[in-house]
Amino acid sequence: MFEINKPVKNPGQMELIIERTFNAPIELMFRVWTEHEHLKNWWGPKGFEWVQSKMNFQPGGAFHYCMRSPNGMEMWGKFIYGEIFVPNKIEFRSCFSDENGGITRNPWISNWPLEVNNILTFKEQDGKTSITLRGGPINATPEEQQIFLNGTEYMRNGFKATFEQLDDYLMKISDKETIQKKDNEFTITRYFDASREQVWKAWTEPEQMMKWWGPKTFTSPSCKIDLRAGGKYLFCMRASDGKDYWSSGTYREIVSERKLLFTDNFADEKGNTVPASYYGFKEEFQQDLNVTVTLENQKNGTKMILKHAGMPAGEMSNLAILGWNESFDKLEKSLKSANRKSLIPGLEIVTESGKQEIIITRIFNAPVKHVFETATNPNLIPEWWGPKRLDTTVEMFDLKTGGIWRYVQQDNKGKAYGFHGVYHEIVPNERIVQTFEFEGMPGHVVLETSTFEDLNGKTIWTSRDVFQSVEDRDGMLQSDMEEGIKESIERFSKLLKK
């Protein structure tokens, strides 16, 4: 690793400084550092697998995460946020942690500083963003300070590898999101895995728009739309502190499912135009900013282009771009709740907004009898049911009407997760109806109906899971359900070939 007891060359320099330029606009760079969905795709040492995380990005909030090393060791880490200036600066303390969020020692170097204070700054030029990360230990003993300084070259190499992962990730997502700036206007292009009709409804139906309007920490308590040329709209977004921000405008051009052109102004709750200073902004905007939204059919979804004209260049434009993209991230999630999604060939998940069910369809290259017998063999269930990282034990398996099943999964730390249910109907090679309940959340019961159909020698296995409420269903969608299903199907497919 590095020489722990090597004398410090410069005891007065207690700071690690890393600089790097990325081929991405400042708004996107800020988001990949501050949104959980982005961070989990690039943060951490090379070769580590992301396990879980949660984020509360605000002063005093925390990012708490767990990664797994190639040898199976789980490592917890934590950021504790200080000053935040969007989109130019983030101050945070970093430390090793445990699953409860406590501060712990470095698992490899026991006298490493407990906490390191970091200041991350962003600067954009010609569409690229340079970041500077400055970090130094907090309240460290002389010995801990020496260890930190002796490890600076090792940390530089580690960040170099991590930032290479960030470069790769930015290249990957650039296919789905682009930003262009010119004078007092900007253009955002996004791609959604949804039909053009679905995206159009999300822009033109109040109940749909309220699901995504406003940046990530905002909600939308009110939305009024008079969808016609000359018609007006009145939108409200509410900040986490309860403050409401209203906007209004007039639709100038409407081409169904293809184009919206409307004006945009700050407003009060009655729709009267007000200056930006009404909401505490220092910089005034011209009245009637123009927003154009165009939708184009793509092979696997919809291309959406938003052009916002009249916005002052600089800080306000950067904040507006960030706000739009955070809203579009929410739009993407909203569309997924009413979407048909194929994770891998032969696997499809269908959900609809407002419905308390999930329909999962799988196609296996094996006859119905073989698939049914493999799925209902208690000796084989541990070989495919759930993620591979968990060991599954079948404690009860009584395959008959009124029979009970119970499985227990255990992670590498010995933590157990129980699941159980009751069989309501069994028709061999055709149908199984059963309940499903996670013992960690008792009382939240799912009714699952599985059917098995022949498809020219292959098998279509369809599961219709009905939840007790839409909230229960949405909670499942927001978990790691998709990855668990994907891994189970892949393991089951391999089992069928044995």
User: pLDDT digit of tens for each residue in the chain (498 aa)?
Assistant: 333 333 334 434 568 999 999 999 898 999 999 988 899 999 999 899 988 889 999 999 999 999 999 988 999 999 999 999 989 999 999 999 999 999 999 999 999 999 999 999 999 998 899 999 999 999 999 999 999 999 999 999 999 999 999 999 998 887 778 888 888 899 999 999 888 988 999 999 998 899 899 998 899 999 999 999 999 999 999 998 899 999 999 999 999 999 999 999 999 999 999 998 999 887 667 778 999 999 998 877 899 999 999 988 888 888 899 999 999 999 988 887 655 555 456 677 887 767 788 888 888 999 999 999 999 999 999 999 988 889 999 999 999 999 999 999 998 889 999 999 999 999 999 999 999 999 988 999 999 999 998 888 889 999 999 999 988 887 787 666 777 788 899 899 999 988
Distance, C-alpha 444 to centroid of its chain: 24
SS3 label, residue 279: helix
Q: Measuring CA to CA, how many Å separate 166 from each of 22, 349, 378, 444?
A: 9, 29, 43, 39
Q: Please tell me the predicted confidence (pLDDT) of residue 4.
A: 36
Neighbours of 239 (CB within 10 A): 13
CATH number assigned to the domain covering 340-496: 3.30.530.20
Q: Please tell me the predicted confidence (pLDDT) of residue 369.
A: 95
The fold for domain 177-331 equals: Alpha-D-Glucose-1,6-Bisphosphate; Chain A, domain 4 (3.30.530)
Q: Please tell me the predicted confidence (pLDDT) of residue 7.
A: 38
Q: Please tell me the predicted confidence (pLDDT) of residue 299.
A: 74
Q: Please tell me the predicted confidence (pLDDT) of residue 61.
A: 94
Listed in order, the ranges of the chain carrying CATH 3.30.530.20 are 16-173, 177-331, 340-496
Go through the chain and tell me how many residues it has: 498
State how far the Cα of 144 lies from the Cα of 17, in Å rounded to an integer.
18
- Tell me which residue has tokens 């102004």: 265
Q: Please tell me the predicted confidence (pLDDT) of residue 1.
A: 39
Neighbours of 160 (CB within 10 A): 11
Neighbours of 295 (CB within 10 A): 21
Q: Please tell me the predicted confidence (pLDDT) of residue 300.
A: 73
State the Cα torsion 351-353-357-358 to the nearest 10°. Answer: 20
Strand order from edge to edge, sheet including 445-455? 340-344, 347-350, 357-364, 458-466, 445-455, 431-438, 416-427, 404-410, 391-397
Return the CATH number of 16-173, one of 3.40.225.10, 3.90.1150.10, 3.30.530.20, 1.20.1250.20.
3.30.530.20
Supply the pTM of this predicted model. 0.56
Alpha helical stretches, state H, 121-257 = 142-150, 152-173, 196-204, 206-209
289-298 and 259-267 strand pairing: antiparallel
Question: Under a CB-based contact definition with an 8 Å cutoff, are residues 276 and 264 in contact?
Answer: no
State how far the Cα of 331 lies from the Cα of 403, in Å rounded to an integer.
43
Q: Please tell me the predicted confidence (pLDDT) of residue 283.
A: 67
